[in-house]
Amino acid sequence: MTSYVICEYGKVKQEFPEFKATMDSLKANLVSLAAKDWGIPAEKFTLKQGHTTTITPALFADNSGTRMSTWKQEFTSTGHQTIMTGAAMGGTIYEDYKVGLAGLVFLDKAIRVSEIKMQISDRKLPRINIEEAFAYDKPAIVFEEGYVLDEETGFDLCAYVLSQGPQRIKLLGLQLNRVKDKVLTDPGAALV
């Protein structure tokens, strides 16, 4: 079962100290996995060294299958649909990247989805009804335990879309980069 909290994005750090513990645990798991897979010493995974960043939209494709350069996408139909997937072939995360997913945030006043569910590789996570989030300003769904989106692993975020229009959904967490020069390019540039 997926345990989560729905809250306002601006209050995550102040009112939910558990989020720091989730992020610390998620980073430790990712760093251990990356050190084993890539042979990079754990101390290299800092913001200063360039191997650790926030999650970049370029690793994902939106509901139309277009690689994202921002978290904004356009819903052109309603009903059940995949709204975000890995941008590499087969809906996977690109090689040389590992993502620690701690939650997601709706950055618009109008929330156009009422329910979400995720699939990471062959693991299907249960549906989450987010209608409660309609009452919050920039609601965040924060998982009590983070998820690892490993390189070359499938990822799908599905939703029940209520209305057409723009929607910005940001993934909360961190990203480890095997080749730091790939993330030192121009903003919005492809990462491969």
* 74-96 residue pLDDT tens: 999 999 999 999 999 999 999 99
pLDDT in tens, 15-24: 777 788 888 9
Note whether residue 192 is domain-resident.
no
Who's near 26: CB < 8 A, 6+ residues apart?
A: 100, 101, 102, 146, 148, 173, 174
Range of the domain at 59: 7-181
Instruction: Identify the pLDDT of residue 3.
Output: 87
Instruction: Look at the chain and report how many structural domains it folds into.
Output: 1
CA atoms 18, 21, 26, 29: torsion sign? negative
Does the residue 28 lie in any domain?
yes
This prediction's pTM: 0.90
pLDDT of residue 192: 59
The answer to whether residue 2 is domain-embedded is: no
Residue 187 forms part of a structural domain: no
pLDDT at 44: 80
82, amino acid identity: T
Quick check: is 97 in a domain? yes
- Would residue 148 count as lying in a domain? yes
Q: Which residues of the chain have pLDDT under 70?
A: 1, 47-48, 182-192
Q: Is 191 domain-assigned?
A: no
Residue 189 lies in a domain: no
99 by Cβ neighbours in 10 Å (0-12 / 13-18 / 19+) ranks as buried
Residue 33 has a pLDDT of: 94
